[in-house]
């Protein structure tokens, strides 16, 4: 789904999110930990939103979430924000298990 996802694991990084971005390239994303809900207020582009439980299993997907929208899941522990269309392109569905690997660039 993403091979270049940043991690928003501090309060400051979670607050900023993707607000300063003008878009995401294919393979880019932002993993927000912890997180149960997101919004696209003041953003400049639509995103796919993938809600994950603590085991990193997908509990909800909100594809092509447009501007000035909110979405959440009480069972989510984290959220992966991706370029709109990423879930459809990769065939990602609710129940899929994700793996994350950290690597040095």
Cβ atoms < 10 Å from Cβ of 72: 16
Give the pLDDT confidence score for residue 1 in this predicted structure. Answer: 87
Give the pLDDT confidence score for residue 105 in this predicted structure. Answer: 63
- Residue position matching structure tokens 């990193």: 56
Do 24 and 83 meet the contact criterion of CB atoms below 8 Å apart?
Answer: yes
> Residue 38 burial by CB count (10 A; 0-12/13-18/19+): exposed, middle or buried?
buried
66 CB contacts (<8 Å, ≥6 apart)? 40, 46
CA–CA dist 34, 45 (Å, integer): 23
pLDDT along the chain (105 residues), means of 10: 92 94 95 97 97 98 98 98 97 96 76
Give the pLDDT confidence score for residue 102 in this predicted structure. Answer: 82
Give the pLDDT confidence score for residue 104 in this predicted structure. Answer: 72
Give the pLDDT confidence score for residue 9 in this predicted structure. Answer: 95
Give the pLDDT confidence score for residue 12 in this predicted structure. Answer: 95
Fold topology of 4-90: Jelly Rolls (2.60.120)
CA–CA dist 50, 12 (Å, integer): 21
Do 2 and 27 meet the contact criterion of CB atoms below 8 Å apart?
Answer: yes
Q: What is the tens place of the pLDDT at every residue in 91-100?
A: 999 999 999 8
């Amino acid at each position: 789904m993403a091979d270049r996802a940043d991690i928003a694991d501090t309060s400051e990084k979670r607050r900023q999110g993707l607000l300063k971005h003008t878009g995401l390239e294919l393979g880019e994303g932002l993993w927000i930990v912890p997180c149960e809900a997101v919004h696209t207020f003041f953003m400049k582009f639509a995103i796919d939103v993938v809600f994950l439980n603590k085991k990193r299993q997908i509990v909800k997907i909100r594809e092509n979430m447009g501007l000035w929208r909110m979405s959440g899941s009480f069972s989510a522990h984290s959220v992966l924000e991706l370029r709109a269309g990423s879930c459809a392109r990769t065939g990602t569905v609710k129940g899929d298990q994700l793996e994350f690997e950290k690597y040095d660039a």
